[in-house]
């Protein structure tokens, strides 16, 4: 291509002739491939030459010699102008040729990547795709179908991978005994709170500790607010059930992994002590009579141990302890419904707990709603 600057078409035609000559040596093809790729990356070819250049690159990508194809793949892996048909040809090649474009090439659409993933069983190719700088949810979901631990580990470690909640739950369920995988997932940070809560019911103790250290400050707050309407409706549906029926209901919620932090704290705020204590029993694994004793004996130390064992958020402990104390005291006075909610609300405000206790104002909003609507206090059942 020495005369490309003076007569580009003549230079490119010479390249085609060289490549089409069966007697051309490996060294000549290697030098030509390097030169064409260098010029292509430098964007020195005119628009009118695009078709000829694309043909040259396509011929190079079909060359019988692996090292020639590698030159094209490695040299042009980052080039956004690499012709799609050349990129796809390289992607279908052996791993040494395919992986540079699979990992780095920006010319592939999501649909291209999905088609490549579905058409290969080569773990090396899937792993290369898993390392891409941009990895949309659709592509991640398809990679998850491999159920290969190395692929999943690579995806999790790729901070640019967009992992959907559905894929996260698949990982958690499939690898709930693999602390390395789960640890990598937790270390991504910014996990959806609902996913965190579900993980807490499934994963080993070490991972639970890691989760709580990372998310304890926001776990209950987000959960409390996120499912407000749903939790209100659910608690309304159980308020007329007796204690045994409530315990059976909580058992179902626990087994279906729907017993969230927000729901448990909301039950306390609404005075549904039966629901609250059953929840603590299932979360701690302690017998229900023992839990009831700790709840009702009014011992702050006993409740603190129970709360900690249930792994409820530390940021709500003081507020929950005050509300529980007031709830039991108002129960002894026979208060219910609007009178009960008003009594709890007034005592919190009068004591300044809404200002001095962390997150009390969030729980107070729930009590305030009951105070306004006059909902019946279910602790009487």
Pair of tokens at residue 25: 């040596």
CB 268 within 8 A of CB 359: no
Which pLDDT score is estimated for 38? 93
Q: What is the residue-averaged pLDDT of the chain?
A: 85
Report the pLDDT averaged over residues 239-263: 88
Residue of higher predicted confidence among 202 and 317: 317
Residue of higher predicted confidence among 221 and 53: 53
pLDDT in tens, 324-367: 999 988 887 766 556 778 899 999 999 999 999 988 988 888 88
Closest CA to 308 of 317, 318, 298, 320: 317
Which pLDDT score is estimated for 278? 96
pLDDT band at 101 (very low <50, low <70, confident <90, very high): very high
pLDDT band at 234 (very low <50, low <70, confident <90, very high): confident
C-alpha separations of 78 from 23, 46, 81, 252 in Å: 32, 20, 9, 53
pLDDT band at 205 (very low <50, low <70, confident <90, very high): confident
Which pLDDT score is estimated for 19? 82
Pair of tokens at residue 90: 């390289």
Pair of tokens at residue 166: 């559905």
Which pLDDT score is estimated for 360? 92
Which pLDDT score is estimated for 378? 47
Residue of higher predicted confidence among 380 and 87: 87
C-alpha separations of 342 from 325, 359, 360 in Å: 15, 19, 16
pLDDT band at 11 (very low <50, low <70, confident <90, very high): low
H or E element in which residue 285 lies: none
pTM of the predicted structure, to 2 decimals: 0.60
Which pLDDT score is estimated for 218? 55
Q: Is the pLDDT of residue 72 over 50?
A: yes
Q: Is 161 helix (H, G, I), strand (E, B) or coil?
A: strand
Q: Is the pLDDT of residue 154 over 90?
A: yes
pLDDT band at 204 (very low <50, low <70, confident <90, very high): confident
Closest CA to 37 of 64, 69, 72: 72
Closest CA to 168 of 149, 180, 186: 186
Q: What is the DSSP letter of 241?
A: S
List, as one string, the DSSP characters of 107-143. T--HHHHHHHHHH---HHHHHHHHT-S-B-HHHHHHH
Largest CA distance in the chain: 103
Which pLDDT score is estimated for 8? 45
Alpha-carbon torsion, ordered 197, 199, 202, 208, to 10 deg: -90
pLDDT band at 300 (very low <50, low <70, confident <90, very high): confident
């Amino acid at each position: 291509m020495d005369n490309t600057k003076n007569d580009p078409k003549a230079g490119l035609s010479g390249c085609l002739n060289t490549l089409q000559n069966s007697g051309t040596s490996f060294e000549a093809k290697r030098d030509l491939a390097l030169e064409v790729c260098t010029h292509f990356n430098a964007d020195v070819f005119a628009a009118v030459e695009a078709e000829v250049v694309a043909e040259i690159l396509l011929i190079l990508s079909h060359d019988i010699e692996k090292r020639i194809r590698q030159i094209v793949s490695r040299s042009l892996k980052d080039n956004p102008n690499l012709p799609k048909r050349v990129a796809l040809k390289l992607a279908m090649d052996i791993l040494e040729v395919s992986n540079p474009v699979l990992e780095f090439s920006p010319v592939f659409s999501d649909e291209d990547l999905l088609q490549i993933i579905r058409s290969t069983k080569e773990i090396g190719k899937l792993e290369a795709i898993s390392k891409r700088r941009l990895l949309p949810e659709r592509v991640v979901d398809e990679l998850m179908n491999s159920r290969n631990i190395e692929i999943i580990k690579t995806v999790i470690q790729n901070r640019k991978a967009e992992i959907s909640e559905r894929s996260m739950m698949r990982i958690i369920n499939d690898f709930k005994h693999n602390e390395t995988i789960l640890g990598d997932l937790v270390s991504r940070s910014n996990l959806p709170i609902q996913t965190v809560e579900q993980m807490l019911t499934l994963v080993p103790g070490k991972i639970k500790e890691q989760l709580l250290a990372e998310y304890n400050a926001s776990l209950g707050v987000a959960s409390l607010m996120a499912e407000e309407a749903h939790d209100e409706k659910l608690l309304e549906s159980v308020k007329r059930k007796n204690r045994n029926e409530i315990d059976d209901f909580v058992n179902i919620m626990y087994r279906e992994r729907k017993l969230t932090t927000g729901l448990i704290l909301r039950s306390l705020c609404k005075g549904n002590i039966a629901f609250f204590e059953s929840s603590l029993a299932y979360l701690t694994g302690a017998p229900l009579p023992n839990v009831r004793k700790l709840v009702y004996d009014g011992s702050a130390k006993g409740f603190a141990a129970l709360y900690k064992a249930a792994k409820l958020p530390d940021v709500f402990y003081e507020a929950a302890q005050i509300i529980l104390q007031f709830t039991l005291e108002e129960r002894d006075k026979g208060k219910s419904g609007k009178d009960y909610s008003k009594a709890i609300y007034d005592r919190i405000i009068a004591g300044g707990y809404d200002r001095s206790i962390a997150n009390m104002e969030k729980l107070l909003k729930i009590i305030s709603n009951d105070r306004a609507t006059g909902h019946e206090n279910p602790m009487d059942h």
